[in-house]
Chains A and B, each alone.
Chain A
Amino acid sequence: NAGVMQNPRHLVRRRGQEARLRCSPMKGHSHVYWYRQLPEEGLKFMVYLQKENIIDESGMPKERFSAEFPKEGPSILRIQQVVRGDSAAYFCASSEGHSNQPQHFGDGTRLSIL
C-alpha cells in the first residue's frame, strides 16, 4: 500500500534552468495538491488538480510555474527559468475525494538553486 511518491527527493538547478517535480498519488486517489514550504514556515498551498483538470491554482505564481495531472502518469510541477527564490521544499498530497477528505502527503522534493 504505497503512499504518495515524489521524485526526485533532491533537485539542484542553476538559475535559468527548468525544474520538473513528479508526484504519484496514492492508489485510488484522483485529487492532487502541491504545496511549497520555506524553512521554519508552514506549507503554502499552490495548486489543486484532478485528472486532466486544474481545479484551483490560486496559490501558484502566474509566471514560470505550471502544473499538470495527465490521464496517465504522475502529476508534474514545472518551474521554468528558476531563480534563487524558488529554493524550497515542494510537497505533493493526494486525497480520495474532495472537500474535507484527509490529504496524504509525500516526503517532498527539496529544490536548491545555485
Chain B
Amino acid sequence: LAKTTQPISMDSYEGQEVNITCSHNNIATNDYITWYQQFPSQGPRFIIQGYKTKVTNEVASLFIPADRKSSTLSLPRVSLSDTAVYYCLVAIQTGANNLFFGTGTRLTVIP
C-alpha cells in the first residue's frame, strides 16, 4: 500500500521560503503527486499537482526528482495566513481514486 511520509510539523518566520518534503517510495508509474492545504474547520484545498521535474503556479512550486520517490512543496515568502496543515498525496492504484491522506505537516508561521 503506497503511503507518504512527511514531517509532522514545521515552524517558519513570515517572509521566508518554506520547503516541505514528502517521501513516496512506492509510487506507481502512472501516479501523480498532489498537495493540499487544510485550515481548521475547512475542507482541504488543492494547491498543486505534478508528475515529474518542476511545476509552478501562482501560489507554490513542486519539485520532483527523476526517481519520483519524493517531492518538495515550496511556498515562497510565507505569511501568517499560510499557517495550516499540508498534505502530500499520491494515487494508490492506477484506475482508482483511493487517495491516502497521512497526518500531513502542520506549518506554523511566526510573526
Contact = CB atoms under 8 A, between A and B. Distances in A.
Interface string A34-63: 010000111111001000000110110000
Contact of A43 (B31, B42, B101): B101
Contacts of B98: 45, 48, 56, 58-59
Interface stretch (B12-20, B43-51, B72-80): B43-51
Interface residues on B, range: 20 to 34
B7 interface: no
A1 interface: no
Contacts, number: 65
Nearest to A102: B46
B30 interface: yes
B43 A91 contact: yes
A34 to B, nearest CB: 11
Interface residues of A, number: 29
Interface string A4-38: 10000000000000000000000000010101000
Contact of A99 (B30, B36, B103, B104): B30
Contact of A42 (B30, B49, B102): B102
Contacts of A95: 97
A108 B45 CA distance: 12
B34 A102 contact: yes
A102 B45 CA distance: 10
A35 B95 contact: no
Contacts of A58: 98
Interface in B59-111: 87, 91, 94-104
B83 to A, nearest CB: 16
A2 to B, nearest CB: 14
A104 interface: yes
Pairs of residues from A and B, 3 with the lowest C-beta to C-beta distance, nearest first: A105-B43, A42-B101, A43-B101
11 contacts: A33-B97, A43-B44, A45-B101, A48-B96, A56-B98, A99-B91, A100-B32, A100-B91, A107-B41, A107-B43, A108-B41
